[in-house]
Amino acid sequence: MSKIIAIGRELGSGGRTIGKTVASRLGIPYYDREIIDKTAEESGLAIDFVESNEQKISSDLLYKFGMGMSYGYGNQIMPISNQIYRAQMKVIKDLADKGPCVIVGRCADYILKDYENLLRVFIYSDIDHRIEHAVRFYGMNEQNAKKTIRKSDKERARHYNLFTDNTWGDRSNYDLMLDSGYLGLDKCADLICYLSTDS
Amino acid sequence: MSKIIAIGRELGSGGRTIGKTVASRLGIPYYDREIIDKTAEESGLAIDFVESNEQKISSDLLYKFGMGMSYGYGNQIMPISNQIYRAQMKVIKDLADKGPCVIVGRCADYILKDYENLLRVFIYSDIDHRIEHAVRFYGMNEQNAKKTIRKSDKERARHYNLFTDNTWGDRSNYDLMLDSGYLGLDKCADLICYLSTDS
């Protein structure tokens, strides 16, 4: 049986492409859009709003909404970013309970850490490969790509570190860390598939 | 053709065993004892002294010898720990120039970073697996194992960080990082062999 595969990744490392390839090769679901839709449903927030804010804690969101507006959730009053995280945590666990799958980002490695059948992967790369990937696949120019990558690293780290006890990208959170710029996306997928099927 | 494989590792992670297995499976040399002997020859220091001090900068060595005694090396006056490192760097490059091989520790990932045919691996594990490994293979009791592991982490980090521009165990220095406690030593060897032969 395949594993539940949680993939953390740096922007421009090709983690999403690797995740899709792995899911397709193993014949297991790759959850992405579904997580946003279900999180919106679970939290009662608009899909667009969840999509824009689910994987980051921008300082805007934290101050304008987080500190200012707050929402009831059970017996607790919590900032909206926390509300999205809590809803998403439930959605991710519900999906993992269904069986083997691939989930990219969204602190899934942490949320699912007690699942026995979990493989936690982190995909990273040097800045040049990441810029090249962003220019090619996101249609950015080089300067914008570099700026966006730096901003994304900060946002992802802030989000992950705030909602988990861990540090984003630190080896202690992952079973396997792969430099996709050196290894190439296909070989990264090969390694993950190998570890997910041969147990 | 196989690659030159530089394996950094935490004490008790089984990195040395993995390195030997990989070398044996690929039919390439695993350099260990030879590096110590050749470093002693190159530096003019005693083999025992090199063996005790080659992969660490103990505060004793740094202060008693490094700051106090110094040795001429070319036109430079340098502390003895630097003298060992410089000699070992030459030995490692000479060995790598001979062709594919496995070298564990000794900043080889950094020293050989400009070699095209290099695969840089880091092996790590959680503390429980490392203690178990140390008890089983080094004959330590649990308490000693834990203490030795903590001390080794500090020493290896201090040594690596002092002699390279990088941070020991940081993903940016490695192409592949493997949790041997989760994956098992054999699977770690499988992955490294796969990446070293299929290019």
Residue B126, classed as helix, strand or coil, is: coil
Query: What's residue B198's pLDDT?
Result: 58
CA distances from B140 to A174, B17, B128, B144 (A): 28, 18, 14, 6
What is the ipTM score, two decimals? 0.87
Overall residue count recorded for chain B in this entry: 199
pTM of the model: 0.89
* Torsion angles phi and psi, residue A142, rounded to 5: -60, -45
By the 8 A CB rule, do B189 and B13 touch?
A: no
Question: Average pLDDT, stretch B21-26?
Answer: 98
By the 8 A CB rule, do A122 and A177 touch?
A: yes
Reported in sequence order, the residue ranges of A43-161 that DSSP labels E, i.e. its strands, are: 71-73, 76-78, 101-104, 118-124
CA distances from A141 to A47, A154, A181, B15 (A): 29, 20, 19, 42
Homologous superfamily of the B4-52+86-197 domain (CATH): P-loop containing nucleotide triphosphate hydrolases (3.40.50.300)
Determine if residue A105 is left, alpha or beta; phi over 0 gives left, psi from -120 to 50 gives alpha, anything else beta: left
Q: Which of A6, A33, A53 is nearest to A195 (CA)?
A: A6
Please give the residue that has the higher pLDDT: either B30 or B2.
B30
By the 8 A CB rule, do B133 and B45 touch?
A: no
**Which CATH number fits the domain A4-197, given the four candidates 3.40.50.300, 2.70.180.20, 3.40.50.720, 3.50.50.60?**
3.40.50.300
Residue A54, classed as helix, strand or coil, is: coil
Share of residues in chain A with pLDDT > 70 (%): 87
Tell me the chain B residues in contact with residue A177 when contact means C-beta distances shorter than 8 Å: 171, 174, 176-178
Question: Average pLDDT, stretch B1-27?
Answer: 96
Q: Which of A176, A187, A194 sits opposite B178 (nearest CB)?
A: A176
Distance from CA of A192 to the nearest CA of B (A): 10
Distance from CA of B182 to the nearest CA of A (A): 6
CB contact under 8 A, A179 and B182: no
The domain spans of chain A are 4-197
Per-residue pLDDT tens over the stretch A60-69? 444 444 443 4
